[in-house]
Amino acid sequence: MDHFYWLFPVSGVKTYLFIPPLVAFVVSFFTSMGGVSGAFLLLPFQVSFLNFTSPSVSATNFVFNIVAIPSGVYRYLKEGRMAWPLTWVVIVGTLPGVFIGYYLRILFLPDPKVFKLFIGCVLLYIGVRLLYEMSGPSQKGKKEMKALEDKFDQRTKELKDFQKTRMASGLPPEAVVKTIHFSFTKVEYEFWGERFSFSTPSMFLLAFVVGIIGGTYGIGGGAIIAPFCVAVFHLPVYTVAGAALLGTFLTSIAGVFFYSIIPAQPGLSTSPDWFLGFLFGAGGFIGMYFGARAQKFIPQKFIKLMLGIIITFLALCYIIQFFI
């Protein structure tokens, strides 16, 4: 199998060609069932197992998003579940944050040890959030969203039974997001006959902060911004997911651009390893597809508990290594 052993010249990584797509497939298969992106776990794999520690690893992680996400975005566009006002606010807020994140990465976090501490802090937030979602207080706050989900499933089933065929869009007309009001102060839209709203400046500020974190880490920020939209702004996850995915996709393109074009200090590699990123993305593309299909066969609580424990353990390992 030596002829499958490959040296990636940009990153300096030496591994078998099947390893990146295989790891991305496994990670994305399980994380997609938990409702989070696999990008935040692929970066620790590259740092710890492939010894890819330069700022290029953040840019390469963005390439993973660019390859893996389009299938999910297409699904939301086709089904009319893209909340465009939310999407544009997220994109406009995140882009300048990614730009700042790039400079934080190359100026303050080029040291692998310090960068691992940063990774640990981000992972700790995601892991604790997943574990919190298993708790009683979190479950109580989801009752309204569960009622909306039941309404969604029941109405869709009734319509499909009535038509005796698969609907072209897969969704009844009521499930399409309709913009009611969009201004610099407030956004309001309708979904399933119910209206939802949020403050435009507040959402912009959240997206800006997430953009800084995502630009530094090498993720678009969907795993961070989506839970805030649901828990803090009380928006239905059916309308948040598409906006978070599209925002992650576009900001990942911007991230790759910043890391590739903006000059860094001499000797510091920032450009992505395109081939390595593509291999990760190909595995993630397939993993997300099969993960979405298998989701209904595996209890959500089990998936989130497993991911929460693994991610929290990994986060603590990265944080502890900084102080040893």
pLDDT in tens, 209-239: 999 999 999 987 877 888 888 778 888 877 8
Mean pLDDT lowest among 87-91, 115-119, 170-174, 291-295: 170-174
4's tokens: 């499958």
Highest mean pLDDT among 29-33, 102-106, 168-172: 102-106
Mean pLDDT lowest among 126-135, 172-181, 244-253, 254-263: 172-181
pLDDT of residue 189: 92
229's tokens: 């939209």
Q: How far is CA 298 from CA 23, 179, 293, 304, in A?
A: 20, 35, 10, 11
Number of domain units in the chain: 1
Highest mean pLDDT among 87-96, 147-156, 282-291: 87-96
Enclosing domain of residue 75: 2-263+270-323
pLDDT in tens, 301-319: 787 788 889 999 999 999 9
Q: How far is CA 179 from CA 81, 103, 241, 275, in A?
A: 11, 36, 17, 40
Inter-residue contact 130 to 35 (CB < 8 Å): no
Cα 252–250–90 angle (5° rounding)? 110
